[in-house]
Structure 1
Amino acid sequence: MRAYGSYVALGDSFTEGLNDPGRDGHYRGWADRVAERLAELEPGFRYANLAVRGKLLDQIVEHQVPAAIELKPDLVSFCAGGNDLLRPGTDPDRMAKTFARAVRDLRGTGADVVLFTGVDPRDMPLMRRFRGRFAVFYLHVRSIADLYGCHVVDQWSMQPIRDWRAWSEDRLHMNDVGHRLVAAKVCEVLGVPSQDQWRHTWPARDRVGRAVKLREDRLWLREHFLPWVGRRLTGRSSGDAVDPKRPDLKPYA
């Protein structure tokens, strides 16, 4: 296991930590959980999280990647593209070229880089219609990881996070349980000892009646899906007024 003295996390809402409540009004999330573990193992460990919800791949590459290169960390996690893949007309092959250039630049600093595939969206009502597009892009991600010698966290194969109990009410972001499972997977990929295990077996769940399911679906449409569509139609993002929660490499306690 390599000892990491510094870590910078790049990405969107997934890496920012939605919807895993933390302290001081910020979200915690899998990246904070990984940083907590690394801080326990390495005295003087420093951590920055530049991720902002709603950001597209080009925005992350333009703003977050150069900032990470400037910080010169030992470890970088880079997860981007999920918001792009939900937009009409997105070309996963074009995205992969942008993604590859960013990975090349990050690896050029000598940092270890962790990349991610997404969760298989076949059980997600909003995203399953884009499943083929997701699959193509994440095959590119795996190829880019092989080309540049990166670690890969393969969420597509993580069966425990396909269960709805790992997700929050908006059905787009994981809850604290989901983030804890992802953090355990990241630690395993890095060879970092962790008390948590991502291989989780859920207990059998009660059967949900059709009427209850329809009522939950209507509530989700009104409170989560329609506001999301409204932002897309007006060109707004949930991250327009949000700053990175940890913009500088600082000691992490």
Structure 2
Amino acid sequence: MQLDGTTALVTGAASGLGAATAAALADRGATVYGLDLEKALAGATATSDRVHLVAADVTDEKQVRSAVARIRDDGRALRLAVNCAGIAPSARILSRSGAHDLDLFHTVLKVNLLGTFNVLRLAAETMSTLDADSSGQRGVIVNTASSAAFEGQIGQVAYAASKAGVAGMTITAARDLAQHGIRVATIAPGIVDTPMMAGFSDEVRSSLAATVPFPPRLAQPAEFARLVTVIAEHDYLNGEVIRMDGALRMTPR
């Protein structure tokens, strides 16, 4: 896929992985529609005039359909969708306060798994109507899992389950959408230096970085964004879950 001149949709675009991805795609000449919750966008500023921030909840079919329709109404063809929106609360199955809150588990799955699938299916729907390129390709969808999908830590049961679901549906989605010329891949990052990490002390951050075999540091959002561009441009990457974690295998704690 040629990024220059294409149109992309990126969720979770107000900060972290989503903001870095939107910026990287814009730098490569793409027009980007960045989705996030209205409250998240309140303090966000587009890093480029190629990035259009749109308020939308990824779990809401109507809102995502509206965002996709806006792209079409603007006379653009959606060729790339990147799912970065997600939440990561921590809770044990059993704690001093009792059993894991069922509503919390449901919310994490709803945002991380259902939200990803909602955007995937609606993006695929509109991509399927586009003219294919010379190789028969109509679009690319990149999802975000996590190292926790494979080695979830204590307190990550809901998060790990949601991200394992994202990883697990990758090959099936790629097979389902192959007949439409749509590729699907997933990135499973390790510990990334996002705004979520900003609340930790330097000591904690250094301790986390030391657990990464090589390079022994936290990943940068820009490195995630760079991998998105590689997947988009590499037409033979399909149905794959790519770990971006410096060979990290998470310990129980």
Unaligned runs of 5+ in 2: 41-56, 91-103, 131-137, 200-217, 235-242, 248-253
Separation in 1 of the partners of 2:24 and 2:167? 24
Aligned amino acid, residue 64 of structure 1:
A
Aligned amino acid, residue 162 of structure 2:
R
- 1:41-56 residue pairs with structure 2 within 5 A? 46-53=30-37, 55-56=57-58
Q: Percent identity?
A: 10
Instruction: State yes or no: 1:34 paired with 2:25.
Output: yes
Separation in 2 of the partners of 1:187 and 1:153? 12
Instruction: Determine if contact 2:170/2:186 at 8 Å carries over to the other structure.
Output: no
Separation in 1 of the partners of 2:183 and 2:162? 22
Instruction: State yes or no: 1:179 paired with 2:221.
Output: yes
Q: Counterpart of 1:151? A: 183
Instruction: Determine if contact 2:84/2:144 at 8 Å carries over to the other structure.
Output: no
User: In structure 2, which of residues 51, 65, 72 is the aligned counterpart of residue 69 of structure 1?
Assistant: 72
Bigger relative contact order (CA 8 A; separation at least 6): 1
- 1:132-151 residue pairs with structure 2 within 5 A? 132-149=161-178, 150-151=182-183
Q: Counterpart of 1:57? A: 59
User: What secondary structure, in the 3-state scheme, does the structure 2 residue paired with 1:82 have?
Assistant: coil
- 1:220-231 residue pairs with structure 2 within 5 A? none
Separation in 1 of the partners of 2:122 and 2:84? 11
The root-mean-square deviation of aligned C-alpha atoms, in Å, is: 4.2
Q: Counterpart of 1:226? A: none
Rate the CA distance shift 1:201–1:6 in 2: closer, same or farther, 3 A: same
Q: Counterpart of 1:170? A: 196
Aligned amino acid, residue 36 of structure 2:
V
Q: CA deviation at 1:61?
A: 2.2
Q: CA deviation at 1:7?
A: 1.7
User: What secondary structure, in the 3-state scheme, does the structure 1 residue paired with 2:194 have?
Assistant: coil
- 1:20-31 residue pairs with structure 2 within 5 A? 28-31=19-22
Aligned amino acid, residue 141 of structure 2:
V
Q: Counterpart of 1:42? A: none
Instruction: State yes or no: 1:79 paired with 2:80.
Output: no
Separation in 1 of the partners of 2:116 and 2:193? 27
Q: CA deviation at 1:169?
A: 5.2
| Structure with the largest fraction of strand | 2
User: What secondary structure, in the 3-state scheme, does the structure 1 residue paired with 2:77 have?
Assistant: coil
Q: CA deviation at 1:172?
A: 9.5
Separation in 2 of the partners of 1:112 and 1:75? 4
Instruction: Determine if contact 1:103/1:148 at 8 Å carries over to the other structure.
Output: no
User: What secondary structure, in the 3-state scheme, does the structure 2 residue paired with 1:132 have?
Assistant: helix
Instruction: State yes or no: 1:120 paired with 2:143.
Output: no
Separation in 1 of the partners of 2:20 and 2:220? 9
Separation in 1 of the partners of 2:186 and 2:223? 12
Rate the CA distance shift 1:112–1:56 in 2: closer, same or farther, 3 A: closer
Instruction: Determine if contact 1:57/1:80 at 8 Å carries over to the other structure.
Output: no
Instruction: Determine if contact 1:11/1:52 at 8 Å carries over to the other structure.
Output: yes
Instruction: State yes or no: 1:188 paired with 2:230.
Output: yes
Judge which range, 76-85 or 144-153, deviates more.
76-85
Q: CA deviation at 1:58?
A: 1.8
Judge which range, 122-131 or 56-65, deviates more.
122-131
Rate the CA distance shift 1:191–1:131 in 2: closer, same or farther, 3 A: same
Instruction: Determine if contact 1:69/1:109 at 8 Å carries over to the other structure.
Output: no
Instruction: Determine if contact 1:8/1:49 at 8 Å carries over to the other structure.
Output: yes
Separation in 2 of the partners of 1:170 and 1:63? 29
Unaligned runs of 5+ in 1: 21-26, 40-45, 193-197, 203-253
Instruction: State yes or no: 1:18 paired with 2:5.
Output: no
Task: Give the count of matched residue pairs.
Answer: 175
| Structure with the largest fraction of helix | 1
Instruction: Determine if contact 1:114/1:151 at 8 Å carries over to the other structure.
Output: yes
Q: Counterpart of 2:125? A: 105
